[in-house]
Amino acid sequence: MCLDDPTLRLLNLNFYPQPPPLMALEKITTIRGRAVHVPGNDVDTDRIIPARYMKCVTFDGLGEYLFYDARKNPDGTDKPHQLNDPRFQGATILLAGANFGCGSSREHAPQAIQKHGFKALVAENFAEIFFGNCITLGIPCVSAARADIRKIAEAVESHPAVEITIDVAQGEIHFAGQTVRATLRNSARDALVNGRWDPIGELLEGVEDARKTAGRLPYLASR
């Protein structure tokens, strides 16, 4: 029976809040791969994916619009951009500046990043909503000092094939024989390494408690 079958949904409604069987999530402890540096501070989510490419009802195919206006001329030809550089094709780690992902809450931004092939982000710091959206998709967003990001970027620039390892659990980045600190909020780190980054299973377990909390609030209890 297909999950989309309305009868099945009705059944679930009857058994609610019994959570449906959810797939176990991957424990994200280490990300290993090549990196590409997209410099600049305050890179907003409009720049990560321009709003005109959000006219869609699924997230399919968003990867091709990542950083679209920075990567493409109006006629669709390539501009010089790190993501167009053949040396960095296949990179799975994105190095960025400060306040990465500010602005709009659009999940289309981390979706585009993920669908483009990135598995982790390293920046000085991240905007709040963007950070939460990434963690929920299982994309570690680790913070590193500006000087350390520069060191990694220089290593990548001189040897694009250099392998970068982000040790999420230990909070370290290893590259070219060097190690720098990578910080991640405890709750996000634990969620990633324990395979709880998508919270839906845990939230469903709390539905009865949520109903009780709602019952104590007059604006919600009145129905």
Partner 1 sequence: MPKSLFEKVWSAHAVRPLADGQTQLLIGTHLIHEVTSPQAFGMLRDLGLPVLMPYRTFATVDHIVPTDQFAEPYRDPLAQAMMDELRRNCTEFKITFFDRATGQQGIVHIVGPEQGITQPGTTIACGDSHTSTHGAFGAIALGIGTTQIRDVLATQTLAIGRLKLRRINVTGRLRPGVYAKDVILHIIRTLGVNGGTGYAYEYGGEVFDRFSMEERMTVCNMSIEGGARVGYVNPDDTTFAYLRGRPYAPRGADWDAALARWRAVASDPGCAYDDVVSFRAEDLPPTVTWGINPGQGIGIDETIPDPARAKDANERASIEEALAHMKFEPGAPIKGTKVDVAFLGSCTNARLTDFKEVAKHLKGRRVAPGVKAIAVPGSQGVGRLCAELGLDRIFRDAGFEWREAGCSMCLGMNPDKLVGDQLCASSSNRNFKGRQGSPTGRTVLMSPLMVAAAAVTGRVSDAREVFGVGSSS
Q: Which residue has the tokens 């905007």?
A: 127
Residues 6+ apart with CB under 8 A from 198: 25, 136, 137, 138
* Minimum distance, C-beta of residue 45 to partner 1, in the bound complex (Å): 9
Shorter beta-carbon distance to partner 1: residue 159 or 214: 214
* Minimum distance, C-beta of residue 179 to partner 1, in the bound complex (Å): 24
Residues 45-74 that bind partner 1 (CB under 8 A): 46-47, 50-52, 54-59, 69, 74
Question: How wide is the angle at C-alpha 160 spanned by C-alphas 142 and 149, nearest 5°?
Answer: 30
Give the residue, chosen from 83, 98, 162, 180, that forms a contact with partner 1 under the rule CB under 8 A. 98
Residues 155-214 that bind partner 1 (CB under 8 A): 185-188, 190-191, 194, 196, 198-200, 202-204, 206-207, 209-210, 213-214
Q: Does 8 sit near partner 1 (CB under 8 A)? A: yes
Give the residue, chosen from 25, 44, 81, 157, that forms a contact with partner 1 under the rule CB under 8 A. 44
* Minimum distance, C-beta of residue 163 to partner 1, in the bound complex (Å): 28
Shorter beta-carbon distance to partner 1: residue 177 or 219: 219
The DSSP bridge pattern shows strands 35-37 and 93-95 to be: parallel
